[in-house]
């Protein structure tokens, strides 16, 4: 959301030196690394991969042709670490404080065609130190030795770690430190990829958007509601194992806010209901809140009123959501929300908010799945959205079974392609994002689920 103190402290420090890679195992020779930092211009220029001439030329020529430089800042994650590991990924500088041999750093790229990958690490080795690291991709590992040295003035290299890529889709490249004599294994800023599999390579290549690409794409389902809709009802289930930290599964979105469930930490989960402030001025204000509901103002992606209930919702269980929007007759609108917990069989009142300078019923009904923690952007998440209903101001219930699928700019700009939606075998709508899976679906299409005809039994006039 903002630059971390570590990033601020390290920004602009230490020029990038050469890494001299000497294979101790399967690589078959030494490899010198170009002493060139990853710049925004270089990262943006390599989306289409090296030219055919560069692919046909020796390794020295390939280096000159600027093979894709995949910056760790936008494409890598700490996917395994010990309890006291210090490693972290800086959006600007890549891997920092690399000291723990238990830490695995995983970088993800999407390949357009089968072929070969030549893999070279870019970064800096500790001055006077010697490190041994392992690179693993496509089931093949290379053990390499890193030392700080002069290298060559033009950044040429003489050896490559090469793997075969059998099919198009996402490829994961793992790096792990094994032994070191210095304070750190080194600092890695990027991975250079050349070879036939690098043509048409997709990865996050817009440095100004690394915050968003690390979070991963957000996916949405939009429903058309009748005029003068007062209530929206829906049901939400998160499959077991699809609820990593940083997940927000939004069940009832509307024109001025949203309601859903979050995973805020290992031991904290929330039911969240928020209403934005008006664009033209004025503040959304609290009318009342339910028992144990926390109320705040929020900022960042807009401002407004936030209310949430700390509740240990469980993956695999089905939860129900009701949102009410209505004009107050005095130039403002009132927004209320309720949450049904199967664990206690009760509807829980969250809050009622008043938004000035608007007179509206419920509009723009939608759902979404997103990740709000960048370090967990490599994890997969999925939501099942079933039983959508709209209730008119006269009390008429209408089942909604047609939804339009969309994705945010991270997906639309092909910074990440791990997004999907549709209708599952049980007849529910689903959304998927994160995890670097390959089954991307076309954006903008409509999905239709079977009508159930099972009108919810809730009595709206008796809600707490």
One domain, residues 261 and 335:
yes
Residue pair 323/307 in contact by the 8 Å Cβ criterion: no
Shared-domain flag, residues 232 and 197: no
Q: Give the structural domain span for 243.
A: 216-462
Burial (CB count <10 Å: 0-12, 13-18, 19+), residue 101: middle
pLDDT at residue 144 in the model: 84
- Among 199, 214, 229, identify where a domain stops: 214
Q: 119 near 99, Cβ under 8 Å?
A: no
What is the total count of domains within the chain? 2
Complete DSSP assignment for 359-393 = -------EEEEEE--GGGTTS-EEEEEEEEEEEET
The reply to whether 203 and 313 lie within a common domain is: no
- Among the candidates 214, 239, 263, a domain finishes at 214
406 pairs with which residues across the strands? Answer: 220
For residues 190 and 251, membership in a common domain is answered with no
Residues 95 and 231: their CA atoms lie apart, in Å, by 48
> Can you give the pTM of this predicted structure?
0.83
Query: What pLDDT is stored for residue 85 in this prediction?
Result: 93
At which of 190, 214, 238 does a domain end? 214
Residues 269 and 198 in one domain: no
419 close to 382: Cβ distance less than 8 angstroms? no
What residues does 433 pair with on adjacent strands?
381, 419
pLDDT at 125: 77
Report the CATH number that the domain containing residue 99 is assigned in CATH: 2.60.120.260
Both 308 and 397 in one domain: the answer is yes
Give CA–CA dist 118/101, Å, rounded.
24
Q: What totals of helices (H) and strands (E) does the chain contain, helices first?
A: 7, 31
Rounded (5°) CA angle 137-141-143: 130
Rounded to whole angstroms, how far apart are CA atoms 272 and 269? 9
* CATH assignment of the domain containing 456: 2.60.120
Question: Residue 246's Cα: distance from chain center in Å?
Answer: 9
Spatial distance between the Cα atoms of 318 and 236, rounded to a whole number of angstroms = 6
Q: Tokens for 43?
A: 């990262």
pLDDT at 148: 66
pLDDT of amino acid 146: 81
Tell whether 193 and 223 lie within a shared domain: no
Q: Do 419 and 276 share a domain, yes or no?
A: yes
pLDDT value, residue 106: 98
Residues 175 and 278 in one domain: no
**CB burial of residue 421 (10 Å; 0-12, 13-18, 19+):** buried
338, 286: one domain: yes
Q: How far apart (Å, rounded) are the C-alpha atoms in residues 251 and 195? A: 44
Q: Are residues 299 and 263 in the same domain?
A: yes
Same domain, 303 and 421: yes
| Residues of the chain where predicted confidence (pLDDT) is lower than 50 | 1-65, 150-159
């Amino acid at each position: 959301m903002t630059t971390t103190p570590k990033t601020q402290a390290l920004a602009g420090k230490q020029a990038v030196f050469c890494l001299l890679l000497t294979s101790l195992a399967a690589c078959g020779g030494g490899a010198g690394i170009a002493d060139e930092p990853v710049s925004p211009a270089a990262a943006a220029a390599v989306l289409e991969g090296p030219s055919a001439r560069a692919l046909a030329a020796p390794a020295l020529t390939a280096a000159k042709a600027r093979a894709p430089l995949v910056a760790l800042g936008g494409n890598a994650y700490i996917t395994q670490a010990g309890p006291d590991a210090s490693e972290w990924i800086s959006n600007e500088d890549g891997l920092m404080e690399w000291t723990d041999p238990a830490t695995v750093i995983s970088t993800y790229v999407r390949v357009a065609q089968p072929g070969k990958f030549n893999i070279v690490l870019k970064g800096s080795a500790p001055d006077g130190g010697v490190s041994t690291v392992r690179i693993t991709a496509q089931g093949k590992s290379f053990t390499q030795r890193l030392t700080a040295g002069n290298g060559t003035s033009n950044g040429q290299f003489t050896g490559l770690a090469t793997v075969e890529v059998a099919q198009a889709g996402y490829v994961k490249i793992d790096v792990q430190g094994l032994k070191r004599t210095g304070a750190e294994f080194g600092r890695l800023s990027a991975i250079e990829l050349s070879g036939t599999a690098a043509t048409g390579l997709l990865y996050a290549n817009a440095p100004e958007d690394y915050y968003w690409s690390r979070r991963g794409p957000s996916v949405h389902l939009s429903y058309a509601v009748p005029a003068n809709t007062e209530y929206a009802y829906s049901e939400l289930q998160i499959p077991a194992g699809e609820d990593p930290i940083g997940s927000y599964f939004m069940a009832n979105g509307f024109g001025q806010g949203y309601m859903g469930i979050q995973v805020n930490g290992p031991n904290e989960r929330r039911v969240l209901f928020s209403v934005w402030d008006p664009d033209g001025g004025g503040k959304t204000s609290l009318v009342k809140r339910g028992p144990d509901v926390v109320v705040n103002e929020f900022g960042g992606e807009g401002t407004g009123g936030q209310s949430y209930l700390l509740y240990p919702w469980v993956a695999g269980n089905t939860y129900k959501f009701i949102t009410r929007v209505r004009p107050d007759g005095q130039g403002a609108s009132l927004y209320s929300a309720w949450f049904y917990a199967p664990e206690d069989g009760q509807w829980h009142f969250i809050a009622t908010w008043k938004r000035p300078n608007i007179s509206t019923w419920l509009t723009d009904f939608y759902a979404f799945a997103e990740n709000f923690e960048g370090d967990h952007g490599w994890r997969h998440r999925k939501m099942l959205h079933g039983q959508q209903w709209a209730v008119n101001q006269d009390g008429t219930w209408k089942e909604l079974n047609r939804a339009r699928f969309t994705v945010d700019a991270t997906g639309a700009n092909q910074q990440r392609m791990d997004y999907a939606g549709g209708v599952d075998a049980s007849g529910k709508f689903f959304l998927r994002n994160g995890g670097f899976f390959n089954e991307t679906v076309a954006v903008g299409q409509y999905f239709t689920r079977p009508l159930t005809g099972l009108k919810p039994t809730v009595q709206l006039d008796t809600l707490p």
